[in-house]
Amino acid sequence: MSRVMTGAKMVVEALRDQGVDTVFGYPGGAVLPIYDELFQQNDITHVLVRHEQGAVHMAEGYARSTGKPGVVLVTSGPGATNAVTGLTDALLDSIPLVVISGQVPTFLIGTDGFQEADTVGITRPCTKHNWLVRDTAQLSQTIHKGFHVATSGRPGPVLIDIPKDVQFAEAEYVGPKQIEPATYQPVRKGDINIITQLVELMEKAERPIIYTGGGVINSGTGASQLLRELVDGTGFPVTSTLMGLGAYPASGRNWLGMLGMHGLYEANLAMHGCDLMINMGARFDDRITGRVADFSPGSIKAHVDIDPSSINKVIHVDLPIVGDVGHVLEDMLKVWKSRGRKVNSAALGKWWEKIEGWRSKNCLAYRGSDTIIKPQHALERLEALTKGRDRYITTEVGQHQMWAAQYLHFDQPNRWMTSGGLGTMGYGLPASIGVQMAHPDALVINVAGDASWLMNMQEMGTAVQFRLPVKQFILNNERLGMVRQWQQLLHGERYSQSWSDSLPDFVKLAEAFGCAGAVVRDPADLDAAIQQMLDYDGPFILDVLVEKHENCFPMIPSGKPHNEMLLGEADTDGAIQSGGAVLV
């Protein structure tokens, strides 16, 4: 059966064949034919955003919370350039996205036509791959290829740029099963010999630690299950990067908490003192390693990663295993079980004693207050009042993000959406909308700071239009808190441009958008305010006025190793030298 159709119809047909139910986008001249096709069908819901950056972050939230690729549709020129931040964010955090952009007609390309931009040129370094489709006959298979590339191997964003004349022209539609097998086929199975060597090391290890990252989440829920089996079977302590929270449950008995710059003392000290480090789908990011030369000096390091370029990029490892975390975990468990489920129990017991010693420092302790809401307290109350609910959390970027990672607990993967690698302020609000689209009945909360939240606040309109009851939990310190913290610690307390002047009245803002809001400033009213937010049937902005000068601890200052953490204000005097200021 020959299926000749226009390029625009092909786009919708291909999306449908790829199982897409939701597209986040914004129309414009160069995508009008595709919008015309969207108008004439009911299978795919289009979420009209207020700014293209919002569309990409929504698609990220959708993808991160479902494991399916997020889909974005934008017009040429400014539509595409506005998508760049989101694309870069998705690239650094390995989020599968398919972004379709309109382009001026092929005969206008290169003439500086209206709303023309070299979209494939601009997005080449911030996508996993991209295509400019010049021929309608190539369009459907390029879209199918795009989905394959975005979701295989290390996931990432792809962009398909479609000139307007290609959308109008007709050609034969090719379904996903009819296209030739893709040449891009990353390795999934790890080298069984190295896996066996790793198991041998695990049997003897005296001070092992498992360090997990976003790769476990990207590998699918099966990988999280296997991780739990391995951790609970061996009794090894497990820590995670920001991106990997939820892969091992925070309520699990072997959980050390997050590691890294604002990670937990016990997690970082265990990383520093271990003799066997097993990195599962993390990438030794500079937020994790601190000073590379002093990173976990006495350990044998194994690294499981599906991207060969992640291995030996920052930290030289002894056992490199290129493969999908889920597959490798399966093989590890198989080998470990077949060899008799051995571990060095006596040494492990001592290791745990040492870890408990570090844990007794209670590094997340903070000075409470009866008169002003401490941001940590606000998050502890949010955690307590939402416990037991299937809860999805997104965040913006800054102090509130780190506090959320420290004080909220995740027992399932895909429940925590945050901008890790790129650190994109303005991510959380649109991401919460994307999550809510994918999970209409779930509780979705964006933990935000006042400054970050303003960066994409226009998307409240999208939430209201689509009746998405996203909860905006703004820890309002009228500051760019993390910037202020660094200026206090590293720049002689010169607070250059790090306060939020002329903030809007968030309650009136909520009303203006057609949703509801409340403000809370007294700790005694906090629980009631959170409950009001949770109970409200619709999008809600809760403006939590918190302590303005609270610093986020514990903290490894830039350029310092793990064992030189600052636990609180008392540690900061003279702890940070000017050399650290050149690092970020």
Question: Which residues are marked as active site?
Answer: 52, 114-115, 164, 482
Closest among 481, 483, 422, 415 to 448, alpha carbons compared: 481
Residue 129: CB minimum distance to other proteins, A: 4
**Closer to other proteins at the Cβ: 336 or 513?**
336
Rounded Cα gap, residues 566 and 87, in angstroms = 34
Q: Is the sign of the CA dihedral 13, 15, 19, 24 positive or negative?
A: negative
Could you say whether residue 291 binds other proteins (CB under 8 A)? no
- Span near other proteins by CB under 8 A; candidates 71-79, 200-208, 479-487, 567-575: 200-208
Type of residue at 165: D
Could you say whether residue 90 binds other proteins (CB under 8 A)? no
**Closer to other proteins at the Cβ: 129 or 521?**
129
Could you say whether residue 523 binds other proteins (CB under 8 A)? no
Give, as ranges, the residues between 442 and 501 that touch other proteins (CB under 8 A).
none
**DSSP per residue, 405-460:** HHHS---STT-EE---SS--TT-HHHHHHHHHHH-TTSEEEEEEEHHHHHHTGGGH
Give, as ranges, the residues between 354 and 413 that touch other proteins (CB under 8 A).
none
User: In the set 41, 45, 178, 312, which binds other proteins (CB under 8 A)?
Assistant: 312
Residue 207: CB minimum distance to other proteins, A: 8
Could you say whether residue 308 binds other proteins (CB under 8 A)? yes
Could you say whether residue 335 binds other proteins (CB under 8 A)? no
Type of residue at 539: P
**Closer to other proteins at the Cβ: 139 or 545?**
139
Per DSSP bridges, beta strands 416-417 and 391-395 are parallel
- Taking the mean position of all CA atoms in its chain, how far away is CA 106? 36
User: In the set 2, 183, 345, 578, which binds other proteins (CB under 8 A)?
Assistant: 183
Residue 192: CB minimum distance to other proteins, A: 11
Structure tokens at 457: 């606040």
Could you say whether residue 189 binds other proteins (CB under 8 A)? no
Q: What is residue 526's three-state secondary structure?
A: helix
Beta bridge partners of 448: 474
8 Å CB contact between 275 and 302? no
User: In the set 278, 311, 429, 490, which binds other proteins (CB under 8 A)?
Assistant: 311
- Span near other proteins by CB under 8 A; candidates 14-22, 149-157, 172-180, 219-227: 149-157
User: In the set 21, 165, 232, 275, which binds other proteins (CB under 8 A)?
Assistant: 275
**Closer to other proteins at the Cβ: 66 or 197?**
197
Closest among 414, 462, 457, 405 to 96, alpha carbons compared: 414
Could you say whether residue 230 binds other proteins (CB under 8 A)? no
Closest among 143, 136, 145, 226 to 182, alpha carbons compared: 145
Could you say whether residue 286 binds other proteins (CB under 8 A)? no
- Span near other proteins by CB under 8 A; candidates 33-41, 56-64, 195-203, 357-365: 195-203
In 3-state terms the chain splits into helix, strand, coil percentages (rounded to 5) of: 45, 15, 40
Angle at 559 between CA 301 and CA 322, to 5 degrees: 25
Q: State the DSSP H helix or E strand holding residue 398, giving kind and residue range, or none if neither.
A: none
8 Å CB contact between 185 and 152? yes
Could you say whether residue 270 binds other proteins (CB under 8 A)? no
Could you say whether residue 40 binds other proteins (CB under 8 A)? no
Type of residue at 528: A
Could you say whether residue 165 binds other proteins (CB under 8 A)? no
User: In the set 309, 338, 360, 369, which binds other proteins (CB under 8 A)?
Assistant: 309
Could you say whether residue 205 binds other proteins (CB under 8 A)? yes
Rounded Cα gap, residues 312 and 24, in angstroms = 37
Could you say whether residue 342 binds other proteins (CB under 8 A)? no
Could you say whether residue 34 binds other proteins (CB under 8 A)? no
Site string for other proteins, 105-144 (x = CB under 8 A): ---------------xx--xx--xx--x------------
Residue 451: CB minimum distance to other proteins, A: 29
User: In the set 276, 282, 425, 435, which binds other proteins (CB under 8 A)?
Assistant: 276
Count residues contacting other proteins (CB under 8 A)? 34
Rounded Cα gap, residues 70 and 68, in angstroms = 6
| Residue whose structure tokens are 């350039």 | 81
Q: Which residues contact 503 (CB under 8 A, 6 or more apart)?
A: 450, 454, 476, 478
Residue 149: CB minimum distance to other proteins, A: 6
Closest among 213, 150, 147, 191 to 327, alpha carbons compared: 191
Closest among 556, 559, 553, 554 to 583, alpha carbons compared: 559
**Closer to other proteins at the Cβ: 339 or 367?**
339
The phi-psi region of residue 19 (left if phi > 0; otherwise alpha if psi is between -120 and 50; otherwise beta) is left
User: In the set 286, 307, 525, 527, which binds other proteins (CB under 8 A)?
Assistant: 307
**DSSP per residue, 278-302:** EEES----HHHHSSGGGSSTT-EEE
- Span near other proteins by CB under 8 A; candidates 64-72, 198-206, 475-483, 498-506: 198-206
User: In the set 44, 179, 201, 516, which binds other proteins (CB under 8 A)?
Assistant: 201
Binding site residues, other proteins, CB under 8 A? 120-121, 124-125, 128-129, 132, 149, 153-154, 183-184, 191, 194, 197, 200-201, 204-206, 275-276, 300, 307-309, 311-313, 316, 318-320, 322
